[in-house]
Structure 1
Amino acid sequence: MESDDGEVVSNKQVIFKDYVPGILQESDMYITTATIKLKVPPDTKGVLVKNLYLSCDPYMRIRMRKVQGSYFARSCQESLLPITGRGVAKVVDSSHPDFKNDDLVWGMTGWEEYSLITATETLFKIHDRDVPPSCYLGILGMPGLTAYGGFYEICSPKKGEFVFVSAASGAVGHLVGQFAKLLGCYVVGSAGSKDKVDLLKNKFGFDDAFNYKEEPDLDAALKRYFPEGIDIYFENVGGKTLDAVLLNMRVHGRISVCGMISQYNLEQPEGVHNLMQLVVKRIRMEGFMVHDYYHLYSKYLEMVLPLMKEGKIVHLEHAAQGLESAPSALVGLFTGCNIGKQVIAVAYE
């Protein structure tokens, strides 16, 4: 169907029903079909895009609950609207001077076939098309920059240091471990299955790894893998894992707090009891958001693209097909279904 200001097409969407207490379920989302004009409205500075790949990320769960007094309280998903998250898309129409038709971009978009994006400061143009576009949701996008900023900028790593990565087979963790190995560190990761542990050791080059589900005493497990203690902990899990790590940190150790996925479905987060170790061992523990390091993105690409193309960094991706698969893919993050970066392939031409 044509209109005076652009073709009108159907637009399949994943709708967020309402704020979610407790465990996220597929039923907290539903699929619907709307329509959209393939033209940026007059007097609007923005881009209209066709979404190709969408990203599933643990932080999205926090944005589905009412959180007071935090960054997430200002950016919650709005109920009965399409879920928002990062994606790779092709520009269909643009009224913004930095973007033109057929550009590939990555950044914040909607879980739908087409999105009108006016917050263009969240968009990055994709210049290198020698790699699969979906990589810009993983190693070349938010998870990669998260791993880079959290590891290099916060932890100030040095050759020979002892590094522990939790959720090490995830989108960020498997990159942190590889960065640490390239630097000459000793690296151990934890994951939730034998297959993931095998991948960490045999594909990603970790020195060792263990299945945390098979360790009734995490303190004892860490003492076994780090008899001399931990210099750097890249935190993705929180709760009991963080508590055990604090007991095993070395003096002047550094903890980079990327996330705490074990807590996202809990109404009452677990307490951490060993915080006095921060004082006794003079540990520096710092949380961060990926936005803190957007200014380093071009520097990061200069480092990682050659490593990726030379095969010195391995990137693993888990792709679900079609928007219909999006709810189950997101829920699966919290039950350990994915290995590496979880994406949804909406359409690619």
Structure 2
Amino acid sequence: MAPHGTEEDATALVADLPGQEPSFNGRLQLKNFMFISKTNSESQVVRRSSRLAKSPSTVSPSPSPSTPSSQPSAASPVKKPRPAKRKVEEITTSTTTSTTTTAVVNRSTPSASPAKRSRSSGGGRSSGYAPPSMYAHLPGLPDAVAPNMLIFFIGLNPGIETARTGHAYAHPSNLFWKLLYSSGITPVPCKAAEDRGMPERYGLGLTNIVARPSRSGAELSRVEMDAGVAALEAKCARWRPEVVCVVGKSIWESIFRVRRGRPLAKGEFRYGWQDENERMGVVEDDDAVAEDGQRGRWGGARVFVSSSTSGLAASLRPEEKERIWKELGDWCVQRRKEREAAGAGVPS
């Protein structure tokens, strides 16, 4: 008796099946889940992603043998993807292991940075100008003056700390009092709280070209600085100091502009002693009477332009400021000795 399940029995069973190759169609019915375009029953197109179709690194799969060619027909056009809002430039960098695609925004996109502001506006006002009403709550600073002054210092205007304390050059970063001592103008170190006694003690007076306080010189207008020149001339004519020290280039620029009707030309400015014809407070009236009792004409005070002592002024190095102030200090020391020897009664 032949054993069960022999090779001859298996061949006979296969011969009894229908004339098809073995498949899963009969049980899983995979073709029923395949997407087929309904616009044209004769043109069956497999739907694929447009991104995958355009990518250079993607290889399109071969069409299924059970479907027609995937090329779309005229009757069933494929929708094109919407263009991007901004042009994008693709830069592909190939390496031995991978390919990197970087999106770069089109260079024609306008810059988001605002246009540069003008450094000055109309009326001689800088871009940082602040009206007097902003600091109207702060008190002004009275001048420190007396007859027979050796040097009359002209500052820009009171700063915030100066206006609050009521003393000249009061901000800790201001170098005025340090430079007075290091240059020899004062024989001992002095502080801002001593400003009222400087005319009597050392023959040094203090005033400003602009009376109103502000946080910095940028908050002043050129017009109000020029308007203060006439008052300076009147003070010099009244008190008749030997020397006027203009503390800062911008102050001298205003004085020069008012006198000449034009700004300083390139190369005209210099620190230190100015020409003899630049004297301030010249008196031509024979009947004029000065504060110290002098009568008649007066040739005016000689002018020395020093560097600014403000902590915000950084155009000069500390050693350059020391050198400028030392020139005035040497003159002051020598002149004070001459006055004492002549018995003029000048404070030492």
Fold equivalence (TM over 0.5): no
Tell me: higher relative CO, structure 1 or 2? Use CA pairs within 8 A at least 6 residues apart: 1
Which structure: greater strand fraction?
Answer: 1
TM bin (shorter chain): under 0.3
TM-score under structure 2 normalisation?
A: 0.22
Q: Rg larger in 1 or in 2?
A: 2
